[in-house]
Structure 1
């Protein structure tokens, strides 16, 4: 772009000089007119030169701006990359913490609470189950595949273990052929585990009731006990409550606690299901 303007300027200057040379030699009586044209030509040359300088300056300024933009884009990409790595690391740490607390520790608590009331064969079976959970977690932190398992059956199998320590009432109202994702099943089951673990450890309850209701549009889960209750301010600070909050967020569920001293505790978990029957 700059070269073409320089060529035009050169050709124009040559023409301008040739024109005024011929005019000066052939018409010397028009000296004042020729001088005026000379000044006009000089002005045009000056303006043309100034215009070309502005174009060249603008061109190189655009190059510098584009270079700065590229540098900033690279920096932003590096920042986003490191933020993504940090996010994935934190997510894996959170997941590991949840799995340890909600699954393995829950299983070990059952063994601890039943150690004086159950025979060696049953305890050995529970210990093997705990060891298997640890192995699964240490391999790749992959949660169990629940796509082929009904949520109600998954909860029922767990409550069978609990019923050996405390009286458990399980009420299941699940409509047939309702599709529930593995993510929802896993997180709801972990919430049940956390709630019952806290009941066994802190509430000194003799009865636990679990109510599961599943329809096409919604799912509700209620876990309640007849224990001594607890101050919510104290419970909110524990890792168990944080895990319940985290798992509820993952499945877009809402939950509510109701507890009174010596009158037990009730937890309700509710979420909508955006599907139809299979």
Structure 2
């Protein structure tokens, strides 16, 4: 009998093979477990980061709302209530009627402006492009604004989407006035069956997007983009102006 045919030798080789296979399986299982653990930890970290980001956006949105309430309260107190108090005093001392009527007209105009800031008039009955045009009109006193709309659908957006779209346009224009030093702004709005798109381009001083710090305005803007389930991009360079583009499926 050959040595390799010896049952003891065969048993030893079988044992070695079984141990080797078991070792390989154990090694593969450990690798898979380690990979799964790393993937789970990465997903957990990503979820935690996203949760913290969402929390920060919520806090920013609440802060923006409080700031807006404070501004409107100041408008009511300093402007409208001040005028009404003056009207009352002049009425008590017997001021001429034309003077009182003039102050009443100013008060009505101020009340309309504050009301318009809260909710644009005829929001449900005006098309999105008309509302954007109305938002842009007051800014034309400060800089040149070109507005282009491309609407390829018969239906309109919901009031919730329209108000968020208007707030996006308002915040972008406010940032341009505060930081860009621009003299010209181009605004383009497109509404098709697949969704909406809005772009705002200025000829201001621009900035380095790599060093972009998210202030209250940008965080609030991102919150509105998430509400619209929109994607957006900011393109800018020092001395070459800024373009902000957003698109959302409706």
**TM-score, normalised to structure 1's length?**
0.51
Matches within 5 A, 1:251-262: 251-262=228-239
Aligned pair count? 166
> Among residues 186, 211, 215, which one is paired with 1:209 in the alignment?
186
- Among 176, 193, 199, the alignment partner of 2:176 is 199
User: Could you give the per-residue CA deviations for residues 102-154 of structure 1, whole angstroms, max 9, x where no partner exists?
Assistant: 9968xx9xxxxxxxxxxxxxx988744444368x5xxxxx8877322211111
Comparing 196-205 with 172-181, greater Cα deviation is found at 172-181
CA distance in 2, matches of 1:103, 1:163: 26
Structure 1 counterpart SS, 2:235: strand
Report how far residue 223 of structure 1 moved: 0.3
| Runs of 5+ unmatched residues, structure 2 | 1-56, 76-105
What residue is the counterpart of 2:61 in the other structure? 94
CA distance in 2, matches of 1:244, 1:96: 13
Aligned counterpart for 2:161 among listed residues 172, 184, 191: 184
Gap runs ≥5 in structure 1: 1-89, 109-122, 137-141, 274-278
- Offset at 1:176? 4.0
Query: CA shift at 1:234, angstroms?
Result: 5.3
Residues 1:93 and 1:204: Cα distance change in structure 2 (over 3 Å): closer
Whether contact under 8 Å (2:61, 2:223) holds in the other structure is no
State the match for 1:132 in structure 2: 115
Change in Cα spacing, 1:207 to 1:104, as seen in structure 2 (3 Å) is: farther
Cα deviation, residue 96, structure 1 = 6.4
Closer, same or farther: CA 159–195 of 1 in aligned 2, 3 Å: same
Secondary structure of the structure 1 residue equivalent to 2:145? strand
- Give runs of aligned pairs for residues 27-106 of structure 1, distance below 5 A: 94-95=61-62, 97-98=64-65, 100-101=67-68
Partner Cα distance (1:95, 1:175) in 2: 35
Are the equivalent residues in 2 in contact too, given 1:183–1:251 (CA < 8 A)?
A: no
Following the alignment from structure 2 to structure 1, what is the Cα–Cα distance between the partners of residues 236 and 60?
31
1:103·1:190 contact (CA, 8 Å) conserved in 2?
A: no
* Residue matched to 1:272: 249
Match of 1:218 among 189, 195, 201: 195
Shift of residue 230, structure 1, vs aligned partner: 2.1
Deviation at 1:183, TM superposition (A): 1.6
1:156 alignment counterpart: 133
